[in-house]
Structure formats: C-alpha cells, structure tokens
Amino acid sequence: MLIAIVVFVAAVAGVWAGRELFPSPPSPGVELHSLLHDGLELDEAQQTKLQMLESHFTVRRRALELELRADNARLAAAIEAEHGNGPQVAAAVDRSHGAMGELQKETLNHMFAMRQILRPDQARTFDRAVVKALTADAR
C-alpha cells in the first residue's frame, strides 16, 4: 500500500512539474480573443457591438456543439449496432460532418462580422492574427 501511495504522489508531482516547466502555449482562438479585447484598443461603440456579436455567436455555437454531441451519440449507437463500418455508421459520420461544417461556417461568419466593426488599422492587425491562428503548428 505504501508503494502505491508513493507512486501516486510521484506521478502527481511529475505532472505538476511538467506543467510548470513546459506550459502549453495558448490556443490560437484564445490569442485572437485576447487581441480583440486587449490589443486593438476598441472604442466604446466597438466594444458594445463586439459584445452583441459574441452573445449571439455563443448561443449559436452552443446549439451546434449540442448537435455535434447528439451526432456522436448516434455514431456510438451505430458502431455498437453494426460493429463495423456499415450504413448506419456511414450515415452518422456524414451527419456529424454536416454539423462540423455548419460550426466552421458560423465561426467564419462571426469572425467576418467582428472584422466589420474594426477600423482599417485594427483590421490589418486582426487579419495578421487570423492568418497566424490558421497556420500555427498544432503541437
């Protein structure tokens, strides 16, 4: 029992040390969000418009994420029923791809709507950040 406790404590300490010594970089989406809120010096009118856009997008994104979860549940049921790549599995995969595509389209629409509230100098900075987010290595 003592050995199990020592191993557990060592494992937890190893994970903590790894996170402290090698923190994971922020995701591109977080960097873009931070740029919008902290790096572009939005005026009050822009901030108000941005809050409205984000509120609307949050609702839409959650709905699509719930749809994706439901699609995953249908896929799991199809896999359980067919135990292979049968017609139910294929249909479930196609359906989930449709929801993923809708989420990507909604995200792009949201991004372009946010860009519309920016001044030209802000838009250039935003565009560079978007390109960087889309081309960043996923490590």
CA-CA distance, 23 to 63, in Å (whole number)? 32
Q: Is residue 76 in some structural domain?
A: yes
Any idea what the Cα angle at residue 55 is, between residues 98 and 41, rounded to 5°? Answer: 115
Q: Which residue segment(s) compose the domain that 68 sits in?
A: 28-135
Residue 64 domain flag: yes
Residue 13 lies in a domain: no
CATH of the domain at 114: 1.20.120.1490
Q: What's the predicted TM-score (pTM) here?
A: 0.67
Number of domains in the chain: 1
Q: What is the pLDDT of residues 48-66, one digit of tens each?
A: 998 999 899 889 989 988 9
Could you tell me how many residues make up the chain? Answer: 139
Distance in angstroms (rounded) separating the CA atoms of residues 36 and 29: 11
Answer yes or no: is 10 within a domain: no
List % helix, strand, coil for the chain (3-state, nearest 5). Answer: 85, 0, 15
Residue 27 has pLDDT above 60, yes or no: no
Residue 11 falls inside a structural domain: no
| Separation CA 15–CA 107 (nearest Å) | 34
Report the share of the chain in percent with pLDDT over 90.
13
> Taking Cα atoms as reference points, which of 127, 129, 122 lies closest to residue 46?
122
129: left (phi over 0), alpha (psi -120 to 50) or beta: alpha
Q: Is 58 a member of any domain?
A: yes
Q: Is residue 3 part of a domain?
A: no
Does 101 map to a domain? yes
